[in-house]
Amino acid sequence: MAVPQLTPSLLHTSKELPTLIAGPSLGTAALPLWAPALPYLKEHFQVIAWDLPGHGESKPSTEEFTLAELATGVTEVVAALRADGVIAEGSKLYYAGVSVGGATALQLAVDHPGFFNGLSSICSAAKIGTPEAWTDRAELVAKAGTPTMVAGSAERWFAPGFIEKQPVISTELLHSLQDADRFAYAHVCGALAGFDVREQLASTSDPIIAINGAQDQVCPPADAEFIAENAPRGTMAVIDSAAHLAPAEAPEETAALLVDFFLSN
CA distance 131 to 67: 13
Q: How much is the average pLDDT of 202-225?
A: 98
Q: How much is the average pLDDT of 47-58?
A: 97
Does residue 22 have a pLDDT over 80?
yes
What is the average pLDDT value for the chain, to the nearest integer?
96
- What's the pLDDT tens digit per position in 134-188? 999 999 999 999 999 999 999 999 999 999 999 999 999 999 999 999 999 999 9
Does residue 251 have a pLDDT over 80?
yes
State phi, psi for 212 to the nearest 5 degrees.
-125, 155
User: What pLDDT does residue 105 have?
Assistant: 98
User: What pLDDT does residue 107 have?
Assistant: 98
Does residue 265 have a pLDDT over 90?
no
Q: Which residue has the higher pLDDT, 15 or 82?
A: 82
User: What pLDDT does residue 83 have?
Assistant: 95
- What's the pLDDT tens digit per position in 114-136? 999 999 999 999 999 999 999 99
Query: Which of the four CATH numbers 3.30.420.40, 3.40.50.1820, 1.20.120.420, 3.40.50.300 does domain 7-262 have?
Result: 3.40.50.1820
- What's the pLDDT tens digit per position in 218-230? 999 999 999 999 9
Cα–Cα nearest to 78, from 104, 116, 123, 117: 116
User: What pLDDT does residue 204 have?
Assistant: 98
Bridge pairing between strands 234-239 and 208-213? parallel
Domain residue ranges in the chain? 7-262
Please state, in angstroms and as integers, the Cα–Cα distance from residue 51 to each residue in 22, 98, 137, following that order.
Answer: 9, 12, 20
User: What pLDDT does residue 138 have?
Assistant: 96
Does residue 15 have a pLDDT over 90?
no
- With cut-offs at 50, 70 and 90, classify the pLDDT of residue 2: confident
State phi, psi for 145 to the nearest 5 degrees.
95, 165
Q: 194 Cβ partners below 8 Å, 6+ apart?
A: 66, 67, 131
